[in-house]
Structure 1
């Protein structure tokens, strides 16, 4: 009778205990679920057709009409930025051909603070700002939306410059262009909503009360080299959309990318007098910040530089009090307890600490691992890090590109040697062609005895590891808080009570649970820290744009023109008939 049975495949999993235990649990959960085939097979009330129906077809029938397509993920009035299928060999081949055409564009001339140029630029911007502010939120938003579309359509040129000047890998270049597009579209929607018309306020009859938002004047935007397009355009577009004129000061390592972005904005309708590029080193930024006609400063960069800017702004008694929006670095920690999934934590730690060569303000700096799983997790992370390829960012197979410049590499190497001198165990991994010229470095893992061994942030692919006792989780979080940084924090745990304890206790701006801790998405994960990590409000969030504006309240006694029509109308409606 078995001759009539269809072929059946029988398989038995093989592997180590720690692998098979998780597999067994998953199978038990699946087979024990009410929706499982095994459970439904013995349900006498179910028809055979229902048992053998295709679950994928059922799912598609239920959800296809309600789930938004990727482009409409954020609604019809804010298109999602376009991505690239980097899993496709065809797409990677196109990238390889594209990046082989190295970008060749001149570097913008650096400003001379002693020449009087900055005075002239500030004067020009201040004279142009009132007309730009008078355009209103909707017209400014339309211009920035046009710029976002143009950036998306012309992204290939930006990919080349990002790889050549900033050392961005293919993945990082694509992500950066997308973030820049998202910033412009997100802030444009806010500007259209909040800056176009006054907002009527509730109040008594007989008067009108309106609140309106306007540009402050001339804003200085100082951006970093690690996100030379996304952060640059995020700051600049927010300041412009709020009605300000902008003097944009990029990092001295990446002026070409900034020049390309400013040229794009000018070509799509932003007046040249309203947006001016001011290239140069730190002395140029200092001259801009100290100018008496500056109405605000937006800065992303090092904590020490932010402190100097803050002191400069506060120390001038002959100028108005101006806002300072700062996003700085962090001593970012990921806490992994004994319930964390080893494979997931490995992937998240590798991505957070080593990709982008660790040159993200949000990057993982210290991995705190519960004693019971520390050896297993570290073995997994070392194995994964060994497979990373360090090399030319123009090569699509590269995982980790170069450090931005030789002085930055020297600081990273000096930190590693200091940790060795303290007796810390240092591990090095990854595949690096030693004949490759440039500021390249392999991923490093350094075991600590205490967080007190750290002195500031090491801005590169260096992961420190600290083991902890589960009973001292609260003390661990307190020690993290004592570092005074508060940018990002990762938590790897499947115990909700433990996750909630960490979230409640940590003084950190962005907390990520059971995922990597980099790559905040505009409008989804508003980004910014507290303490030494920044002033707020968060970039890509609902409160950011308003910090670039002044508020004006207009109260009008409407009865002064003769009677209260609104009150008379109310009396007439309420009168007996």
Structure 2
């Protein structure tokens, strides 16, 4: 794609050895080429970002907020090329690609509004007469933003826009498999007014870049979305530093469950299960991994779900006829197939869709429905179109909830029940960041369902929520004894009486 290649000219983009980026649905297609950052280039970018941060923070919240608004307008104007690149590079279906551009736009506009509200001017605080007190928010320094391949535009843009809006300069590290869409995002942000020394794109190896940058005290914080294991490694690397304590904002994985009781509406359950587990090839952090069916209705629900799976079409994600595209890489596909092979030995495969010649050159994994006895049988999240199903007795809801909590994850939870008391009981017992009642578990909307979890699922605060920008900021208070300069003039404005 010409647009993808042109993106390599965006500046400042540090250059090293170029690598080919191929389409997940057909590895014979080269989408573009991307450079790999060298150590010298990464440290040069850090030097520039560190030097530029004070002036960027001093610009003020209102001036900084104008920039993501312009970026949002630019993204909307270039919807079609962005959608095409998302489909080619990330293997996203066209509906998923359109939704992702819209989410990136939402992040820009939402964080702009929050910046004006929270960073636009100091907030007055109460105090004794003769004294004034103000609280203001400021950038912490340089943030390293590490984004994933499953939302390579929306999450990338959300992390970067938040860090910039809060007054930080940014080193943006895209996923190794999806750097081209990140080039486009950075180019649009620069066009919208972000100075080049304030935002730097560092494509390439995650372990290498982390090894060079995380030990440096000038990195004030890291915003990361990805696996729990990688987040733990970043946390340890930051903790090993002797300098200032760095900030880590991590959104990681989940063993996301949906509980369906005997009062649920079967047709609605089927629609929401298919959408939550299999669309986007199951490559959403919020995707359904474990379906928990009350045993009274389990057989009926399983029959309906397997029937609905037969209607799904796997194929070229750029075609409107395709419901599901490939997984991101052959390595990801191999890992999922290894899990399926293990499940064949220890569980029961209820349904597996076929693959054909049309899928031979891509990293496709067929949707699978697998029955297990307990969520305890799953030792990690399987990030793909694999849905595990288990049965529970009506009297066993508390035990089921205890097993779900014991996984240590707390990202998303679904409940299908027409009993409000059951839904609230699950919510009260769950530690999940997002609980959805009688609907699908995916598609959190910025500013409406802020997204993020707890425990092994992340640190918080929630992306797309009112408290997210605060984590990128340092707080300062300014206290003045006005009596020392001649008295408290505020007393003259008080109403008499």
Per the TM alignment, residue 483 of structure 1 is displaced from its structure 2 partner at its CA by 0.4
> Quick check: 1:172 aligned with 2:96?
yes
* Secondary structure of 2:116's aligned partner: helix
- TM-fit CA distance, 1:426: 4.3
Indicate if the aligned counterparts of 1:198 and 1:212 stay in contact, CA closer than 8 A: yes
| Corresponding position of 1:89 | none
1:565 Cα offset (Å): 2.4
1:298 aligns with 2:218: no
The residue number in structure 2 matching 1:471 is: 395
Residue pair 1:222, 1:298 contacting (<8 A) in 2 also: yes
- The answer to whether the 8 Å contact 1:223/1:232 transfers is yes
Show the counterpart of 1:111: 37
* Aligned-pair CA distance for 1:424: 2.8
- Aligned mates of 2:384, 2:235 — CA distance in 1: 26
Q: In the alignment, what sits opposite 1:54?
A: none
* Distance 1:106-1:427 versus aligned 2 partners, 3 A rule: closer
Mapped to 2, the partners of 1:333 and 1:565 lie a distance apart of: 61
Are positions 1:573 and 2:457 aligned together? no
What is the match of residue 164 of structure 2?
A: 240
Give the whole-Å Cα distance in 2 for the aligned partners of 1:289 and 1:497.
Answer: 47
Of structures 1 and 2, the one scoring higher in RCO (CA 8 A, sep 6+) is 2
Residue of structure 2 equivalent to 1:92: none
Q: Does 1:485 align with 2:409?
A: yes
C-alpha distance in 1, partners of 2:493/2:199? 50
Post-superposition CA distance 1:8-56 (Å, at most 9, x none): xxxxxxxxxxxxxxxxxxxxxxxxxxxxxxxxxxxxxxxxxxxxxxxxx
Match of 2:18 in 1: none
Q: Return the alpha-carbon distance in structure 1 between the equivalents of residues 115 and 482 of structure 2.
A: 29
CA distance in 1, matches of 2:263, 2:355: 31
**Residue 537 and residue 267 in structure 1: after superposition, are their counterparts in 2 closer, same or farther (change >3 A)?**
same
1:314 pairs with one of 239, 244, 250: 239
Alignment of structure 1 residues 124-203 onto 2, 5 Å? 124-203=48-127
Matches within 5 A, 1:7-18: none
Q: Is the 8 A contact 2:291 2:389 kept in 1?
A: yes
Alpha-carbon shift at residue 431 of structure 1 (Å): 6.8
Shift in Å, 1:515:
0.2
Paired position in structure 1 for 2:3 = none
SS of 1:573's equivalent in the other structure is: coil
* Conserved? CA contact 2:431–2:454, under 8 Å: yes
Query: Is contact 2:31-2:89 (8 Å) kept?
Result: no
Identify if the C-alpha distance between structure 1 residues 475 and 573 changes in structure 2 by more than 3 Å, giving closer, same or farther: same
Does 2:420 align with 1:496? Answer: yes
Match of 2:286 in 1: 362
**1:158 Cα deviation (Å)?**
0.6
- Deviation, 1:561, is 1.0
Aligned equivalent of 2:477 = 553
Counterpart secondary structure, 2:457: coil
2-side partners of 1:367 and 1:435: how far apart? 28
Once residues 388 and 105 of structure 1 are traced to their aligned partners in structure 2, the CA distance between those partners, rounded to angstroms, is 26
CA gap 1:435/1:350 in 2 versus in 1, 3 angstroms: closer
Higher normalized strand content (fraction of residues): 2
Match of 1:421 in 2: 345
Shift of 1:160: 1.1
Q: Name whichever of 495-504 and 397-406 sits farther off.
A: 495-504
Q: Highest CA radius of gyration, 1 or 2?
A: 1
CA RMSD after TM alignment: 1.5
Q: Per-residue displacement from partner, 1:279-338 (whole Å, max 9, x unpaired)?
A: 111221342222221011000000000000001111112x10111000000000000001
CA contact (8 A) 1:386 1:431 kept: no
Distance 2:347 2:33 in 1: 44
- Secondary structure at the counterpart of residue 425 of structure 1: strand
CA distance in 2, matches of 1:368, 1:409: 25
SS at match of 1:449: coil
Instruction: Say whether the 8 Å CA contact 2:291–2:387 is kept in structure 1.
Output: yes
Superposed CA deviations along residues 349-400 of structure 1, whole A, max 9, x for unmatched, are: 0000000000011100000000010011111111111110000011111000
**C-alpha displacement at 1:568, in angstroms?**
5.3
1:338 counterpart residue number: 262
SS of the residue aligned with 2:426?
Answer: helix
- 2:320 equivalent to 1:400: no
Equivalent-residue separation in structure 2 for 1:378 and 1:139 (angstroms): 55
Match in the other structure for 1:39: none
- Partner of 1:107: helix, strand, or coil? strand
Contact 1:332–1:489 (Cα < 8 Å) also in 2 = yes
Quote the Cα distance in structure 2 between the aligned partners of 1:383 and 1:409: 24
Contact 2:415 2:423 in 1 (8 A): yes
Q: Partners in 1 of 2:215 and 2:151 — Cα distance?
A: 25
TM-score by length of 2: 0.92
Give me the TM-score of the superposition, normalised by structure 1.
Answer: 0.79
* Native 8 Å contact 2:349 2:368 kept in 1: no
Residue 416 of structure 1 and its aligned partner are, at CA, apart by 0.4
**Structure 2 Cα separation of the partners of residues 301 and 198 of structure 1:** 35
8 Å Cα contact 2:369/2:386 also seen in 1: yes
Report the Cα offset of residue 423 of structure 1: 4.0
Mapped partners of 2:32, 2:364: distance in 1: 25
Match of residue 381 from structure 1: 305
In structure 2, C-alpha distance between the alignment counterparts of 1:415 and 1:484, rounded to whole Å: 20
Q: Which runs of 5+ in 1 are unaligned?
A: 1-101
Task: Give unmatched runs, 5+ long, in structure 2.
Answer: 1-27
Match of 1:227 among 136, 146, 151: 151
